[in-house]
A and B are shown apart, each in its own frame.
Chain A
């Protein structure tokens, strides 16, 4: 089973990297960019085929390591 965990900064956290990317897009002349916030994507392959178990494992992975929940949110998707 394939899964994806997306980690993004909480909206209250300043994202200087996102700001820099936003500035670069504007200087490239890409139209209509209001703002950019960057994050991380983890594509994970699971040996388990049980959906509930897989979701629990992914949540544990995100809480224990993939995200720093002080500053980041995460979203788990089974693909």
Chain B
């Protein structure tokens, strides 16, 4: 798997992401500065990592979403390339129009930084094939604006088309308001676009990939992407 990690001013999780990608694929990801107007040839996956691009000025991800490299990312996604946005990366993908909806201030108005449980809603996608449907994984969140909202029509479509891949849940997989850490509509933690090749995910799977991190539940996402690409090749 040849991957590229986008680097915007103010991003701070790009090295965690690069490490997880290297671990899963055995290949060094390309680090792509936001001012670039093209992506390297032969890339399989583009990742918008977490952090605070442009200090969250205006709206989270708003300025980064309008940087030159995002035109190349839109073209890449239109050609069917895989795109993953984590945390601020998810916000950037929503602001860039690659994903519907918006990530609003957490309902409790607090920055949250702890482990959460996520339920995998289906396993037949490039972004979840490393897991089983219904499986519960534990990964960290670290955000102040992760409350996913969209209009009723959009939510209905997301649910009807099976595009909610990750949902906040309790440790036994139950979906309830207590486990919904930021108040997101339908407990949504991660969604894909209509074509299924762009995933936005609020929590940080890249921070649970090695034994030293205390948990390796995040590995499945990256291993699944590698397996998907190997099968496609």
A-to-B contact residues, CB < 8 Å: 12-14, 16-17, 20, 64-66, 68, 70-71
Checking B66, B149, B150, B151 against A65 with a beta-carbon cut-off of 8 angstroms, the contacting residue is B66
Could you say which residues of chain A place their CB within 8 Å of the CB of B109?
16-17, 20
Q: Which one, B59, B95, B100, B149, contacts A13 given CB within 8 A?
A: B149
Interface of chain B: mostly helix, strand, loop or mixed? loop
- CB pair A70 B105 closer than 8 Å: no
Q: How large is the interface on B (under 10, 10 to 19, 20 to 34, 35 or more residues)?
A: 10 to 19
Q: Among residues 65 to 119 in chain B, which have CB atoms less than 8 Å away from a CB atom of chain A?
A: 66, 95, 100-102, 104-109
User: Out of B58, B102, B106, B108, which one reaches A71, CB within 8 Å?
Assistant: B102
Q: How far is the CB of A72 from chain B (nearest CB, A)?
A: 9
Q: How far is the CB of B99 from chain A (nearest CB, A)?
A: 11
Given contacts A13-B149, A20-B109, contact A70 B66 (CB under 8 A): no
Shortest distance from the beta carbon of B169 to any chain A beta carbon, whole Å: 22
Contact residue among B58, B62, B95, B107 (Cβ-Cβ distance under 8 Å from A16)? B107
CB distance from A23 to the nearest CB of B (A): 10
Residues of A within 8 A of B151 (CB): 12, 70
Q: Give complex CA distance A70, B62 in Å.
A: 13
| Residue from A17, A20, A68 within 8 A of B62 (CB atoms) | A68
- Expressed in whole angstroms, the Cα–Cα distance for A21 and B106 within the complex equals 15
Q: List 5 A-B contacts (CB under 8 A).
A: A16-B107, A16-B109, A65-B66, A68-B62, A70-B100
Q: A17-B109, A65-B66 are in contact. List 6 more A-B contacts (CB 8 A).
A: A13-B104, A16-B106, A16-B108, A17-B105, A68-B59, A68-B95
Closest 8 CB pairs of A and B: A70-B102, A71-B102, A16-B109, A16-B105, A20-B109, A68-B59, A68-B102, A16-B107
Taking CB atoms, residues of chain A closer than 8 Å to B101 are: 70
